[in-house]
Amino acid sequence: MTGTKKTHKPWVLVLTVGLGTLLNPLNSSMISVALTRMQQEFELTFADASWLISVFYLASAAGQPVMGKLSDMFGPKRMFLAGLVTVAAASMLAPFSPNFPFLLGCRALQAIGSSTLFPSGMSIVRTSITKGQAKALATLSIFASTSAAFGPSIGGLLIDSWDWPSIFIVNFPFIIVSFFMAIFILPEKGQGKFELARIDFLGITLFIIAVIGLILFLLSLETHIHWWAFIVFIVSSVSFYYYEKRQSEPFIDVRGLKKNTNVTLIYLQFITINLVYYCYFFGFPTFLQQVKKYSPGNTGLIMLALAGFGVIVSPFVGRLIDRHGPKPALITGSAILFSGTALLLTLRETSSLLWLLIIMAVLGMSNGFSNISMQTALYEHVKPEDTGSASGLFQTSRYLGSILSSSLLGLAFNRHLDIQHLHNVAMICLIFCLLVFYLSIRLPGRGKVKGHS
């Protein structure tokens, strides 16, 4: 074991883990340009197709904390390899889906497998790399953000050439290289104590039921309202809250959230930011293909304006936060998000591609400001020993925002899609933008946080 650490350079270990951990963000974003083709293939409404987004994020939200604890029990290397095998199985089966429910099952399996890779990979990096650990973790973050940003472009080019099954097949080069590198490079770690009681299965089940109830209720608002789904959501949410309060290792620490209102509001703000951003991230590709009649390949390239500008402004935002703390960056990001959403209301079916690209670039910049500043704000408000659980809940907030965005799009785009439906989404998002702006202003500045500590 010691030999493993000496033989292999840290960058080789980071590359091995990075090739695995990029699978979750890559597959969560590639689907955005595939929805239109899948709608045609399986004769779906957009509301039906939106479940491909919701199921993936819901399985990721539920799977990541469970897989983190299983990684502690069975060893991170073993779980990392198991995660790769699970993603491979899902990616192999999905192209041969005989019906839509089978494809949904493959997406859920893919999410569970890929959500295994992040906690087990992070555990390996944290315990194996002591010198330059921050740089290694930052590199893994770049793997994730870059794969998410370029997912629509990669997916679009693949669909143009080999249709929608290709977005599943493209996983295999990453899986194979990461798998064989992992066998020989990742160090063996001792297994922990086998304690299934540490996993909050009932809490996770209640969480899943609550989210599914909410999705079903929201998607029914356009036609016949499913009040039973709303009742399921309320009952399971209340049950979840009171059950989690009594747990020593809860899925979501509701007692901690109640004590630290600043952290709770940061999570609420991050949910709202992701709700707005992912409305555009998943809505634009469908609009571009179904209304503007662009091919999947061209749609993917156009999407670079949205995803790429977020990556471009990130270094500048990092320097701004280092000097002034996260609050000014958050307020700036909120203002840009509001401006981009307001500009979207000026878009017409006759508008030029250049104007659409400018609007998308503005919205993309807002995401670059929000992501880093929100994470920094969170870490300033939690104790160092709570960073791990806070990061997990931060990820869950992202997933919840994404799930809510897919439900909003499913409601808005369900029957028919034209420029007015895109404007309807923008009008709703403007309200959420105001909430984000308000929460950014009320967040304590860096000096006040330190003084409070």
Q: 414 with 312: CB under 8 angstroms? A: no
1-185 and 252-453, same CATH topology: yes
What is the reported pLDDT for 81? 95
**Complete DSSP assignment for 352-402:** -HHHHHHHHHHHHHHHHHHHHHHHHHHHHHS-GGGHHHHHHHHHHHHHHHH
Sequence spans of domains, the chain: 1-185, 252-453
Between CA 125 and CA 386 the distance in angstroms is 19
Mapped onto helix, strand or coil, the DSSP state of residue 164 is coil
DSSP state of 131: T
Spell out the CATH class of 252-453: mainly alpha
Buried b or exposed e, range 365-379, using 16+ CB within 10 angstroms:
bbbbbbbbbbbbbbb
Between CA 285 and CA 441 the distance in angstroms is 32
Domain 1-185 = CATH 1.20.1250.20: yes
What is the reported pLDDT for 385? 67
68, 122, 125 from 76: Cα distances, Å: 9, 9, 10
**Residue 191: pLDDT above 90?**
no
> Which residues of 126-216 form beta strands (DSSP E)?
none
The conformational region for residue 293 under phi > 0 = left, psi -120 to 50 = alpha, else beta, is: left
Between CA 340 and CA 330 the distance in angstroms is 15
**Residue 165: pLDDT above 90?**
yes
**pLDDT per residue over 244-300, tens digit each?**
999 888 888 898 888 888 899 999 999 999 999 999 999 999 999 999 999 999 999
Q: 94 with 107: CB under 8 angstroms? A: yes
Nearest 5°: CA angle at 209, between 207 and 215? 105
**pLDDT per residue over 409-446, tens digit each?**
999 988 778 899 999 999 999 999 999 999 999 988 76
DSSP state of 96: G
Helix/strand number for the chain, H first, E second: 21, 0
The conformational region for residue 44 under phi > 0 = left, psi -120 to 50 = alpha, else beta, is: beta
CA 363 to chain centre: 17
DSSP state of 50: T
